């Protein structure tokens, strides 16, 4: 597994998540966040293990945590001089999200753009171009292994400009995968995100289209029962995009990343 991308710290954390893939798959309370070690049940995983992640990596992810427990989680992290940066959870069922996404895809793409095949080489040129597009949009990418599905069931969808050989510039991308192990009640829930659109192509509805392709893919190709995406409270553009694809805010769940108090946000 390979294809790490970003700063030295980002690449180190990507490698850590991949190196621990077997542990994540087998351990109750753990989940695969791609960018770092993570959990979807802190009590089940246990605070000694979370403390070990924080001490070693300086960061830990928290996925689909019950909203009523977040204040306690924040208090526990504050005792350790960490804060929890959170995102709202938007959740879609197979029936609703597929119907909405199929309607978007039926409208097609603007002239000169095509749906392209996803990357298949973790260290290939197309994978690096996708990661660069994500990073340019302010999104911390996953490793090439995760993006290509070499590290577990996943898909990356791509829109590109039509070239003479069908290999024009990549202008939009999104990713979906199954983060939760068999011990989790969210085992068949897909995570969708890493949506990025080239600045020169924004305002054409490409975000909705590429997101809809990802949503369709996690249900049809990965066998998901639900899909969720994470959006900050102030990102109105992304909120409209995921709602258009049939996802609705799920106020009972929260996702976040624990980072040192006073430090920078890990991703937007």
The answer to the question of residue 268 being in a domain is no
Q: Is the pLDDT of residue 266 over 80?
A: no
Gap between the Cα atoms of 229 and 25, Å rounded: 21
Gap between the Cα atoms of 127 and 119, Å rounded: 6
The answer to the question of residue 170 being in a domain is yes
**11-70, pLDDT tens digit by residue?**
899 889 888 989 999 999 999 999 899 999 999 999 999 999 999 999 999 999 999 999
Higher pLDDT, 21 or 208: 208
**144-166, pLDDT tens digit by residue?**
999 999 888 999 999 998 764 44
pLDDT at 150: 86
Beta carbons of 222 and 213 less than 8 angstroms apart: no
When mean pLDDT is compared over 71-85, 138-152, 160-174, 252-266, the highest value belongs to 71-85
How many CB atoms lie under 10 A from the CB of residue 58?
16
Count of domains observed in the chain: 1
Half-sphere exposure for 230 (CA within 13 Å, toward CB): 23
Gap between the Cα atoms of 9 and 259, Å rounded: 13
Gap between the Cα atoms of 180 and 40, Å rounded: 8
How many CB atoms lie under 10 A from the CB of residue 126?
21
How many CB atoms lie under 10 A from the CB of residue 35?
22
The answer to the question of residue 267 being in a domain is no
Q: Locate all alpha helices (DSSP H) within 80-124, ordered by sequence.
A: 94-105
The answer to the question of residue 60 being in a domain is yes
pLDDT at 268: 57
pLDDT at 108: 95
DSSP string covering 29-55? TEEE-SSSEEES-HHHH-HHHHHHHHH
pLDDT at 18: 86
Beta carbons of 257 and 59 less than 8 angstroms apart: yes
The answer to the question of residue 2 being in a domain is no
The answer to the question of residue 19 being in a domain is yes
Q: Range of 90's domain?
A: 8-260
% of residues, the chain, pLDDT over 90: 80
Q: Across residues 75-95, what is the average pLDDT?
A: 96
% of residues, the chain, pLDDT over 70: 95
Nearest to 40 by CA among 18, 20, 25: 25
pTM reported for the whole predicted model: 0.92
Token pair recorded at residue 92: 């879609």
Burial of 104 by CB count in 10 Å (0-12 exposed, 13-18 middle, 19+ buried)?
Answer: buried
Q: How confident is residue 263, by pLDDT bands cut at 50, 70 and 90? A: low
The answer to the question of residue 95 being in a domain is yes
**117-145, pLDDT tens digit by residue?**
999 999 999 999 999 999 998 888 889 99
- Give the domain CATH number at 171: 3.40.630.30
Half-sphere exposure for 213 (CA within 13 Å, toward CB): 24
Beta carbons of 152 and 178 less than 8 angstroms apart: yes
Q: Is the pLDDT of residue 168 over 90?
A: no
pLDDT at 224: 98
The answer to the question of residue 141 being in a domain is yes
pLDDT at 163: 65
Beta carbons of 4 and 145 less than 8 angstroms apart: no
Average pLDDT, the chain: 92
């Amino acid at each position: 597994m390979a294809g790490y991308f970003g700063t030295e710290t980002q690449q180190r954390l990507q490698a850590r998540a991949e190196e621990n893939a077997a542990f994540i798959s087998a351990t109750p309370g753990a989940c695969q966040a791609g960018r770092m070690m993570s959990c979807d049940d802190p009590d089940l995983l246990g605070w000694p293990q979370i403390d070990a992640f924080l001490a070693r990596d300086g960061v830990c992810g928290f996925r689909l945590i019950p909203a009523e427990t977040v204040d306690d989680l924040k208090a526990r992290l504050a005792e350790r001089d960490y804060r929890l940066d959170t995102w709202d959870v938007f959740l879609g069922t197979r029936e609703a999200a597929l119907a909405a996404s199929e309607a978007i895809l039926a409208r097609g793409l603007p002239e000169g753009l095509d749906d392209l095949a996803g990357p298949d080489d973790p260290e290939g040129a197309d994978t690096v171009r996708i990661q660069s597009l994500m990073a340019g949009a302010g999104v911390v990418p996953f490793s090439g292994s995760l993006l290509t599905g070499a590290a577990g069931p996943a898909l990356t969808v791509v829109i590109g400009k039509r070239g003479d050989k069908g290999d024009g510039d990549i202008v939009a991308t999104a990713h979906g995968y199954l983060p939760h192990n068999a011990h989790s009640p969210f085992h068949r829930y897909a995570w969708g995100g890493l949506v990025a659109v080239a600045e020169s192509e924004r305002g054409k509805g490409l975000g909705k289209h590429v997101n809809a392709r990802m949503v369709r893919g996690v249900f049809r190709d990965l066998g998901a029962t639900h899909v969720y995406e994470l959006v900050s409270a102030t990102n109105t553009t992304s909120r409209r995009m995921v709602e258009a694809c049939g996802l609705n805010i799920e106020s009972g769940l929260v996702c976040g990343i624990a980072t040192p108090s006073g430090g920078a946000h890990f991703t937007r």
